[in-house]
Structure 1
Amino acid sequence: MMRQFLEIKTANPDCLLFYRMGDFYELFFEDAETASRALGITLTTRGKHLGDDIPMCGVPVHAADDYLQRLIALGHRVAVCEQLEDPAEARKRGSKSVVRRDVVRLVTPGTLTEDNLLDSRRNNFLAALARTKAAGDDGFALAWADISTGEFGVAEAARLELPALIARVEPGELLVSDALYDDPALRNLLRETRAAVTPLPPAVFDSTSAERRLRDYFSVATLDGFGPLTRAETAAAGAVVSYVDRTQVGGRPPLSPPIRETRGAVMAIDPATRANLELVTTLSGDRRGSLAAAVDRTVTAAGGRELTRRLASPLTDHARIAARHEAVAWLVDNAALRRTVREVLRSAPDMARSRARIAVGRGGPRDLAAIRDGIAAAHALAGHLGEVPDAEGPDRLADIAGRLRAPQRAVHAELAAALVDAPPHLRRDGGFVKAGFAAELDQARDLRDESRKIVAGLQAKYQDDTGVRSLKIRHNNVLGYFVEVTAQHAGKLTAEPNSQTFFHRQTLASQMRFSTGELADLEGRIATAAERALALEMEIFDALVARVVADGEALDAASAALGELDVHAGFAELAVSRDYVRPVMSDDLAFDIHGGRHAVVEQALAGAGDGPFVANDCDLSPPQPGDGSEADGGRILLVTGPNMAGKSTFLRQNALIAVLAQAGSFVPAESARIGIVDRLFSRVGAADDLARGRSTFMVEMVETAAILNQAGPRSLVILDEIGRGTATFDGLSIAWATIEHLHDVNRCRSLFATHFHELTALSETQARLSNATVRVKEWKGDVVFLHEVVPGAADRSYGVQVAKLAGLPAAVVSRAREVLHKLEETDRNAGAAGIVDDLPLFASHVRRAAAPAAAAGSPSVLAERLAAVTPDDLTPLQALELLYELKALAANQAADPAGGREQR
């Protein structure tokens, strides 16, 4: 057995090997030690290898998914090795024969299909990154596929575009060639992605081989039907299907043909912006508190995934956005139909993932039931949408209705006739086929479940035939079933014609036992009834699976349509319940929001009972739109005001309004006119990256540099407190230059929040820059935040008041007020000497500045002593003594800066 394990392990060296032994998956050697630490399970031993104990640990087969989930989350890959034959078959080859085993599946972060290993409301993409060197930095392509739903996409990108593309797809696993994995230019990109990065041999990314693999996978003679794929796109897509083939070990998930995404089809959002705006998850990684959680009104898993996808990939095509808005608007206006649609959708299970599991042989009876119920819901919804006259309903809903009708009614009818209402999870449990569907199965079940009744009926029949009322049918482990009569009645069974039916088995002192051919046959059938019943159910299951697989494309189309309809209905429900409005989309540089609100904060305030959200206007449209020419450039709004007043909320809410609008949703505002945003940038909040040697300020500068180098006229840029992480004049200078660059070079629509009030003077020289401030009110020494954004500039930051609200000790707040008052009274050009006595904090600085020029120009005793020291020659004790000496010299010099040398 160990020889078999080592052979299989050698073929899968990069995986933990789950080796099936009866009801457990066992792990041995280093795998056992690794799994024991990762899972917190007991490490034992089994036998010896080369004289050493063999480490071993194991997990129950019935609980394996839970352990797999934990291992995958920790970045491990698992090879599942199953028994391929019954142990009884192995014993026929000899008592020491080993059961045949082999790997049936590789479990990796990007190839999961089990519901309990996946988030039902998010895709789990396997992605592959490929490059063709002939195209230089523009020769990259990314392909991504979700084998649990069948979705498959591909897009090309320049190197600078890769971070935004990978962040949007957010793959669970990213495949790269060894060359890319070792490329210094991509090291940071691969390290920053959240995906598990898997390097593969270059041959996997060969575009010629990839083309052949794609044709084979999709059974086509040419790839022309997939669109004009570049060589890099072909290589990436081919790597995906190659890896799927390898990990699924013969079971091919039903991937759709790769859909080529053209450049600029969706709003580009870089990783930092996604994190800052918390589109799908918060900074802590939770969904709660994100934009997706706030606007999610979907009621199906497919709808949840579609919503997440739309928020991650807002469209830039005006016509497609308008079609989505039209569908939402129609459902807003038709409340009765919207309620009906949402009620039917609640009964629709996750057909896509059930169909994928069925196709790769990991489906169960519940997956068939999900297909049954999903088809029923799809046909019901198609009927409701079909009741709307074509002239009244939007084209988008008509297209959805057509795809909902795609699955064959015959498939649904067969599934409904065959399956019980609530089948078990595993097919090996049996009991999922309805009574009456198959006569042979019913008979087998009757034998299995009602053998006593059958035997009693046969006993009554024999009593009538023989006239012996005391005749009994009994059972023991030696004879099995037998007919028993008393000795005085035995002659009736041995005489004609009964002797033709009954044959003698055993004679006892007072009884005689017989058997019959019918009883022997019944005994055999009863003994195998359970096995026969389960075997018949397996046959029925396989037939139903074949029907589902044959109708796969129609099922995929209906599943996608269910998700889209759910999102449209959810957006409509959101618009009605939260008073959202339909945005007016345009192809110019307009960005005019009246009464805009923050979708997440508004709901949080309502949930906490903290009062209504204060709505604000935001106009970033060109000051003189003229004909809408991009040459005019968008407006920059410079927002000043105190901390806690709501500047960051104001900035974020307008970015989120743009995302919602282009995702196809109505927006939280009184009105909104938005020119299509092609790229969204946000630099809000403070964070460091110490693992890479980056301070908070360095991270801020890196992100700001990316914005200034990439933003164009159609971009929307959100910047908050640029330059705050360094010295005041350095920070002010950087912020000043950044605004000028945004105005003169990028010419984009921008919101810029700052505490540098000096920047407001730029409005006099920058034609497209306007000032705005957040209103506050002082009351008895405290500050009241009104959260209203109005034209103008703030002249104070109210930092001390905010510090008081934060809970700083009263003595600290009081002292801060004194210091602030002194500083504000002191003329900037006079320096700090005039307040030294009142502000000891600045005393040492001022005293040094006030020292006589002669003393400043000559070397001090302290400096001379330090110059004479060679640190490498000092023992620890000498270093300590020198420290005391220097401290004393410093104290003397501080007491008499001019006479320090004479004192020495």
Structure 2
Amino acid sequence: MTVQQPLPVPATPSAEPAQTADTPARVTPMMEQYLEIKAAHPGLLLFYRMGDFYELFFEDAESASKALGIMLTKRGKHQGADIPMCGVPVERADDYLHRLIEKGFRVAVCEQMEDPAAARARGNKSVVRRDVVRLVTPGTLTEDTLLDARTNNYLLAVARARASGGADRFGLAWIDISTSEFMVTECASGELAATLARINPNEVIVTDALYSDSELGPLWRELSAVTPLTRDVFDSSTAERRLCDYFAIATTDGLAAMSRLEATAAAAAVTYIDRTQVGKRPPLSPPSREAVGTTMAIDPATRANLELTRTLAGERRGSLLDAIDCTVTPAGSRLLAQRLAAPLTDAAQIARRLDAVATFVSDSAAREDIRSILRGAPDMSRALARLSVGRGGPRDLAGIRDGILAADQALARLAELDQPPQEIADVIEALARPSRELAAEFASALAEQLPLIKRDGGFVREGYEPALDEARNLRDASRLVVAAMQARYADDTGIKGLKIRHNNVLGYFVEVTAQHGDKLMTPPLNATFIHRQTLAGQVRFTTSELGETEAKIANAGERALNLELQIFDRLAAKALAASDDLRDAAHAFARLDVATALAKLAIDDNYVRPEVDASLGFAIEAGRHPVVEQALKRDGAPFIANTCDLSPAPGQHSGQIWLVTGPNMAGKSTFLRQNALIALMAQIGSFVPATRARIGIVDRLFSRVGAADDLARGRSTFMVEMVETAAILNQASERSLVILDEIGRGTATFDGLSIAWAAIEHLHETNRCRTLFATHYHELTALSAKLPRLFNATVRVKEWQGDVVFLHEVLPGSADRSYGIQVAKLAGLPPPVIARAKAVLAKLEAQDRGQTARALADDLPLFAVPSRAASEPAPPSEAELLIEAVKVLHPDEMSPREALDALYALRAKLPKN
């Protein structure tokens, strides 16, 4: 985690800097300006513009040079010591900014606010006016070079409401200023970690007090960048006013119906954006409220175990997202990642998405035509965001033009569909909204070849603006005059090598070799040629005629560029005025991209449409693991499909528990994961890898697969396993899907067996959820005699000449052994070790632990805690009530009288006996 320092309120340097004990009485005017601007932005690296470079000084220079691997130099002295300095070229600044942001730095960009010539006109010692124009932080990026095109870049604000008699609640607001998305929601303290994992923010802002909270500290440390801010940013009493101010509205009644806590988080987010963008407010979509329970809850451990968007090694390749992402646009890839992070729990909304996919599955010609059109559609959302904050260029205007033209092409093709489903009908409506006149004007205004930066000029098409054409002709004609002048000077002097050159210091000058320099400095030529500079091999001159021509060229070129910049601003303003329609069209492109991409995936990999309803059903016929199947396909190997049915049996109202036994390497973990992934894919609106699938809505998905320690929190592998298992047993409901692999294997045999035994009983009697439970404890299969919803399944293997052959088939029944020694042999353990292990195993098996387990199953009463549904929690004990009462006390915030009252209240809660 990177801890960010609180952002200061940007300040304009005063004319008279304050003197401090650390500031010398006399510093250069430039360094005086630097120190003042730096003092107004503590905790940030200051990119101080000097000509064509951003310079860094003092500690900033030392930190940046180390982080970027660039040379550390020095410039003058301060308080008797050398001033460390390093710099980066302005034209490559984005590359360096990207590297600094990745390393956790934040940067204040300080630009020159006037032309150096204007500063010189005020006096020789005058300094160019400079000011910070932007604060660059991980959650407020807009440039393509700083962003991953396929991933959202979210800034998340978290506000807390302290509860006097219950759990705290949190308001969350997250914004991607590069696409204008703005969402809010509210959650309980127990759901905060899962919600953060789902949003996956690039930067989180919280109050100082919330950041310092001892219970939440471990959660903040898991995040990439956390910025603690002062309490005023999260002031709930001013939240509505700040939101109205940002959106330029009189009341928030027109926005989504937000709770006070959600509004507080939303106001904090827009306040932070306002500060970092220094007055340039990117237009945001009005906040959209995400209702609680509308998406599948997936905790961080489950996301990591199932490798939804990243593998356990942190790579995209090998994840579920990588396997199913066939999108052709960055916006489509981002939307698919959003859907994968938050599967729906509304069967009707899921059906809408599936209808769209089914349309393009059945019409391959339309699918491929649309995908071809989408490949030419630019990322309009991010182009609009750059234009809104003054960082856009001519290519962003072209992106708007091309996006509207692509919308026309898509509309024409979609019009050929016979009775398109509602999802596609909504897409058609959104694509029709942008103004076609806007695209026509952009097409007539923009040249064929466009520069990246508007200051380079040359992006306005000839003939669009007569005044611009006139200025360009004058500029270009003047340059021809210079070429003719060079030829004439060469003839008049007899110096064939005479050249007229230009640089930013001298402007235009006549240059000859050193051997001809004396000739131009003697009569009669010295009356025309005025000496300017002597170098080792060249001598430079000017003439009155050349000076006058240079002035004409400069004026003509500057006028042409200024006219182009005015045209750019005018076109950008028109694009921003139509931003709502353009954003709707951009989102429609993304929805269309996802639908056609999932259709292509379904055709290429033989997926079927799942049946998703509100039941507790869960029946998958011949299911396959989407990631593993693709890997095997690349190697030319088939994937062995398996069936899984966790649906309630006739007359029952709770799902089944499958107890899966079998050796390592047989495919138990793959079987568990594939069923969880199929359920998740179905609820994002995707076809699934199976021959048939019926999924009753899953409200929460839990996975405890694999083993890893957490040394940062002082947790062993077994402790992590128990923490994750506890979360499942405490939270899973009958509508949840749970997959558990090898519970209890990290401790002593009988300890682990006992924990696994009790966990199965709890899942069966209390949680009553649909569950896949893989284990090597074959003794647990005896529980099926007492637990009516427990079903024994095993992974089929064969022994052949002392070796084990994995068939990867899941069948009813139970394994009678683990084949661990055969797997160890395959792994290459030395033959003497294998022989000794077989001898020890034979001795242990003689004790017949299985018979002992069956006896235990007969003798032990079933689950000592009374059976109940998860929706009917047991009343808390008096001790638990007392503990909860103590937890909500905050001694540091209580007066002596309040503390005494609390003590009496606790005493009153003690048992009467």
TM-score by length of 2: 0.82
5+ residue gaps, structure 1, are 459-473, 482-506, 513-517, 627-631, 832-904
Q: Which moved more, 1:253-262 or 1:62-71?
A: 62-71
Deviations 1:209-251 (A, max 9, x none): 1111111111222222223211110000000000000000011
- Specify the alignment match of 1:589 in structure 2: 616
- Please show how residues 614-693 of structure 1 align to structure 2 within 5 Å: 614-624=640-650, 632-693=653-714
CA shift in 2, pair 1:89/1:197, >3 Å = same
* Contact 1:447-1:454 at 8 Å conserved across structures: no
8 Å contact 1:378–1:404 — kept in the other structure? yes
Whichever residue aligns with residue 663 of structure 1, its letter is: I
CA deviation profile, 1:555-592 (whole Å, cap 9, x unmatched): 11011111011000101111111111100011010000
Instruction: Note the C-alpha offset of 1:40.
Output: 1.7
Q: Equivalent of 2:225, from 196, 208, 226?
A: 196
Identify the match of residue 146 of structure 1 among 176, 181, 196: 176
Residue of 639, 644, 647 corresponding to 1:613: 639
Aligned-pair distance for 1:138? 4.8
Pick from 307, 322, 333 the counterpart of residue 293 of structure 1. Answer: 322
Amino acid of the residue matched to residue 819 of structure 1?
A: V
- Contact 1:155/1:260 (8 A) holds in 2: yes
Instruction: Kindly state the Cα deviation for residue 133 of structure 1 after the two structures are TM-superposed.
Output: 2.1
Instruction: Provide the rounded CA distance (Å) in 1 between the counterparts of 2:846 and 2:750.
Output: 20
Matches of 1:519 and 1:189, distance apart in 2: 68
Match of 1:709 in 2: 730
**8 A Cα contact 1:375 1:407, kept in partner:** yes
Q: Name 1:160's counterpart in structure 2.
A: 190
Q: 1:311 aligns with which of 340, 351, 355?
A: 340
The amino acid that maps onto 2:181 is: E
Give the 3-state SS of the residue equivalent to 1:622 in structure 2: coil
Separation of aligned partners in 1, 2:353 and 2:717? 40
Equivalence map 1:272-351=2 (5 Å): 272-351=301-380
User: What does the per-residue CA deviation read over 1:661-684, in whole Å, with 9 as the maximum and x for residues that have no partner?
Assistant: 011100000000000001100000
Distance 1:20 1:758, change over 3 A: same
Displacement after TM superposition at 1:521 (Å): 9.9
The equivalent residue for 2:537 is none
Letter of the structure 1 residue corresponding to residue 58 of structure 2: F
2:431 matched residue in structure 1: 404
SS of 1:785's equivalent?
Answer: strand
Provide closer, same or farther for how the CA distance between residues 110 and 50 of structure 1 changes in structure 2, counting only shifts above 3 A: same
Q: CA deviation at 1:23?
A: 1.2
Q: In structure 1, what residue type is equivalent to 2:672?
A: L
Q: Check if 1:181 corresponds to 2:211.
A: yes
2:805 to 784, 794, 816: 784
Instruction: Determine what percentage of the aligned residue pairs are the same residue.
Output: 65
How far apart, in 2, do the equivalents of 1:159 and 1:42 lie? Answer: 48
Indicate how the Cα distance of structure 1 residues 809 and 519 shifts in structure 2: closer, same or farther if over 3 A, else same: closer
Measure, in 2, the Cα distance between the counterparts of 1:292 and 1:254: 30
Partner of 2:871: none
Q: Which residue of 2 aligns with 1:5?
A: 34
In the aligned structure 2, how far is the partner of 1:263 from the partner of 1:323? 21
CA radius of gyration, larger in = 1
Tell me by how many angstroms 1:705 deviates. 0.5
Question: How far does the alpha carbon of each residue in 1:257-285 deviate from its partner, in whole angstroms, 9 at most, with x for none?
Answer: 11000000100000000000011111111
In structure 2, what is the equivalent of residue 840 of structure 1?
none
- Number of aligned residue pairs: 777
Q: Is the 8 Å Cα contact of residues 366 and 422 (structure 1) preserved in structure 2?
A: no
Return the letter of the residue paired with 2:297. A
Which amino acid in the other structure matches residue 419 of structure 1? Answer: L
Check 1:305–1:698 CA distance in 2 against 1; reply closer, same or farther (3 A cut): same
Q: Which residue of 1 aligns with 2:886?
A: none
Instruction: Note the 1:348-363 alignment, pairs <5 A.
Output: 348-363=377-392
Q: Once structures 1 and 2 are overlaid, which stretch shifts more, 414-423 or 611-620?
A: 414-423
Distance 1:685 1:101, change over 3 A: same
Is 1:569 aligned to 2:599, yes or no?
no
- Tell me, yes or no, if structure 1 residue 260 matches structure 2 residue 310: no
**How far has the Cα of 1:826 moved from its partner?**
5.5
User: 1:529 deviation in Å?
Assistant: 2.7
Q: In structure 2, give the amino acid aligned to 1:732.
A: L
SS in 2 for 1:102: strand
What SS does structure 2 have at the residue aligned with 1:185?
A: coil
In the TM superposition, 1:123-142 aligns within 5 A as 123-134=152-163, 136-142=166-172
1:543-582 to structure 2, matched below 5 A, reads 543-582=570-609
Judged with a 3 Å threshold, the aligned counterparts in structure 2 of structure 1 residues 229 and 722 are, in CA distance, closer, same or farther, namely same
Q: For residues 400 and 548 of structure 2, what CA distance do their matches in structure 1 show?
A: 40
CA contact (8 A) 2:778 2:850 kept: no
Structure 2 distance, partners of 1:541, 1:570, is: 36
Determine if contact 2:218/2:713 at 8 Å carries over to the other structure.
Answer: no
Q: What residue number does 2:761 align with?
A: 740
User: Please, which moves more after superposition, 22-31 or 316-325?
Assistant: 22-31
Report whether the alignment pairs 1:26 with 2:49. Answer: no
Q: Quick one: distance in 2 between partners of 1:65 and 1:158?
A: 39
Q: Is 1:814 matched with 2:841?
A: no
Moved more, 147-156 or 202-211: 202-211
2:827 and 2:361 map into 1 onto residues whose CA distance is 43
CA distance in 2: counterparts of 1:829 and 1:58, whole angstroms: 72
TM-score (norm 1): 0.83
1:76 aligns with 2:76: no
Q: 1:350 to 1:625 in 2, by over 3 A?
A: farther
Equivalent positions of 1:484-563 (< 5 A) are: 525-563=552-590
Would the alpha carbon gap of residues 762 and 58 (structure 1) be closer, same or farther in structure 2, given more than 3 Å must change? same
Per the alignment, residue 235 of structure 1 pairs with: 264
Query: Is residue 61 of structure 1 aligned with residue 90 of structure 2?
Result: yes
How far the C-alpha of 1:49 sits from its partner, in A, is 1.6
Aligned with 2:465 (options 435, 438, 459)? 438
| 1-structure distance, mates of 2:351, 2:154 | 28
1:81-92 maps to which residues of 2 (within 5 A)?
81-92=110-121
| Deviation of the 1:714 alpha carbon | 0.6
Give the distance between the partners of 1:803 and 1:139, measured in 2 at CA.
50
8 A Cα contact 1:170 1:195, kept in partner: no
Gaps of 5+ in 2: 1-29, 486-497, 510-522, 529-544, 853-913
**Corresponding position: 1:14 with 2:43:** yes
Q: Distance in 1 between matches of 2:456 and 2:630?
A: 46
Alpha-carbon offset, residue 827 of structure 1 = 6.5
How far apart, CA to CA, are the structure 2 residues paired with 1:333 and 1:111? 42
Instruction: Tell me the amino acid that sits aligned with residue 223 of structure 1.
Output: T
Q: Tell me, in whole angstroms, the C-alpha distance in 2 between the residues paired with 1:355 and 1:453.
A: 40
In 2, the alpha carbon distance for the partners of 1:763 and 1:229 equals 49
Q: Deviations over 1:274-308 (max 9, x none)?
A: 00001111111111000000000100010000000
1:576-632 CA-to-partner distances (Å, cap 9, x unmatched) read 1111110001101000000100000000111122x1111000101111266xxxxx2
For the Cα contact (< 8 Å) 1:226–1:260, is it kept in 2?
A: no
**Is the CA contact 2:256–2:286 (under 8 Å) kept in the aligned structure 1?**
no
Structure 1 4/162 Cα, relative in aligned 2: closer, same or farther at 3 Å?
same
Deviation at 1:540, TM superposition (A): 1.1
Residue 61 of structure 1: CA displacement? 1.2
Offset of 1:812 from its aligned partner? 2.2
CA distance in 2 between partners of 1:677 and 1:787 (Å): 27
In structure 1, give the amino acid aligned to 2:437: A
Letter in 2 for 1:307: L
